[in-house]
Amino acid sequence: MTLPRIAIAGASGRMGRMLIEASLKDPGVTLAAAFDRPGTPFIGRDGGEFVGQSSGIAISDDARAAIAAADCVIDFTRPEGTLAHLELARELGKSMVIGTTGFSAAEKGVIAAAAKSIPVVFAPNMAVGVNAVFKLLEVAARILNEGYDVEVIEAHHRFKVDAPSGTALRMGEVVARELGRDLDDCAIYGREGVTGERKPETIGFSTIRGGDVVGDHTVLFAGIGERIEITHKSGSRMPYASGSMRAARFLAGKSSGLFDMQDVLGLR
C-alpha cells in the first residue's frame, strides 16, 4: 500500500518542527514537502535539520507547489494562513489535517464547506490522551449532572495568542452538551469585582499564560463536600504531532467529509 505523502505548513515553527520529526519517525507516512511563509530565515534549508537528521526535503516558500506534491497537508499555523492553505488543498484535491485554533464561527463554516469537496480532520487537540479525556468528560458529566459546579482551567506558554484554548473550549462543549446546555449561553470567561453568587448552570473558564507551558487542562466538578478533577498535562508537543500522523493515515482513501479525532480513534 502506498504511504500517504505529507506536506507540513509552518515548517520552521515550534509545532512545524515537531511535525517534521514525527513524520520522519512514523513508518506509516512519507514526508513529501515542508513550507513556510516567504522571508522565513529557514527557507531552502533541510527540514530535518531541526531534529538533527537529513530529510532530503528543503523548506519551501511555495505553498501551492508543496501541497501539490503531497496527499495530505498538516497545518498548525494561524487561522488566516490555514484558510489560505485549505483553499489550495481544495483546489488541488488534497486532504487536510487542521490543528490550528482561534477560528471564528464564520471561519469554521468555511472549513465545513471545504470538507464537502475534500476530506478534513479538524480538531482542537490531536493528542490521543486529550481525546481520551474528552470521552471521560462525557461519562463524568452524565454522572455528575446535578449539584456540581463546572470550571475549566487551562495553562499555556506565553506565546499562545488565543484564549481560552481550543482544547478548553472543546472540553466545555463536551460537558455542556451532556448537561443539555448551550456553551454560548452558559460560559463565563473570567471574573472580576462583585460578581454575586455563582449561577449553577454556568461553566467557568480560567486562563493562565506564562513561560514555556506546553498545555495543561483541568475540568473541575465541584460539589458540596467533594471535588472531582479530570486533568491532562502535556510534557511536549510530540503527542499532538503523533496524533496528526494518525489523522493523516485515517484520511487516506477518503474523498470528502469533516472529521475530528474522535472519528480517527473510533470513539463515536
Structure confidence by residue, pLDDT tens digits, 129-146: 999 999 999 999 999 999
Rg (CA), the chain: 19
At 142-180, the pLDDT tens digits run 999 999 999 999 999 999 999 999 999 999 999 999 999
Q: What is the mean pLDDT of residues 197-207?
A: 96
Q: Would you place residue 233 in the very low, low, confident or very high pLDDT band (cuts 50, 70, 90)?
A: very high
Residue with cell 467529509: 257
Q: Which residues of 77-114 are buried (b: 16+ CB within 10 A; e: fewer)?
A: bbbebbbebbebbbeeebbbbbbbbbbeeebeebbeeb
pLDDT surpasses 90 at 2 = no
The Cα 55–Cα 193 span in angstroms is 55
Q: Which CATH superfamily is domain 128-234 in?
A: Dihydrodipicolinate Reductase; domain 2 (3.30.360.10)
pTM of the model: 0.84
pLDDT band with cut points at 50, 70 and 90 for residue 102: confident
Share of the chain above pLDDT 70, in %: 100
Where do the structural domains in the chain lie, given as residue ranges? 5-126+237-264, 128-234
**The architecture CATH gives domain 5-126+237-264:** 3-Layer(aba) Sandwich (3.40)
Residues acting as catalytic residues: 156, 160
Distance of CA 214 to the CA centre of its chain: 13
Residues 46-82 pLDDT 10s = 999 988 888 999 999 999 999 999 999 999 999 999 9
The phi-psi region of residue 42 (left if phi > 0; otherwise alpha if psi is between -120 and 50; otherwise beta) is alpha
Distances (CA, A) of 10 to 6, 26, 89: 13, 19, 15
